[in-house]
Amino acid sequence: MTVRSRIYLIITAIVIITIVGALVMIGYTYRMEGLLTQNIDKYIGGLQAAQSLETALVKQKGFASYYFIDGNSNWLLQMDQYHHIFKDKLDKIRRFSTLPEEKRVLSLIESEYAKYLTTKNQVVDYLRSGNLY
């Protein structure tokens, strides 16, 4: 084998190694993009679900305050609608939760919400009795 053929062989090997390395890196890049997109979609969905729970809860609180201010029972109807929205969202999130920590947090939210409902209903009953008006 001549020196010229050895040099061509070495250059060819370097080019082949470079091309294979580039193809492997392109494959890893697409794989990483897929994993990142999957994780981002999962966590963005969780964030949006948490925001919808927060919105439903805040609206319930607001409607309770409005009822306290003017005694209009329409506020209670709207509050009841958002109670159902909150429960539906919580059930939907529970179906998609997979990790034990997620399930624990959802159980905590549900138990605290039950306490909130009990207290809110007591206040509404108190207001309906006419003790403050």
What's the pLDDT at 28? 96
Task: State whether the Cα torsion 53-55-58-62 is positive or negative.
Answer: negative
Residue 110 has pLDDT above 80, yes or no: yes
Residue 117: phi, psi to the nearest 5? -60, -40
What pTM did the predictor assign?
Answer: 0.63
User: pLDDT tens, 16-61?
Assistant: 999 999 999 999 999 999 999 988 877 787 788 888 888 888 888 8
CB 133 within 8 A of CB 71: yes
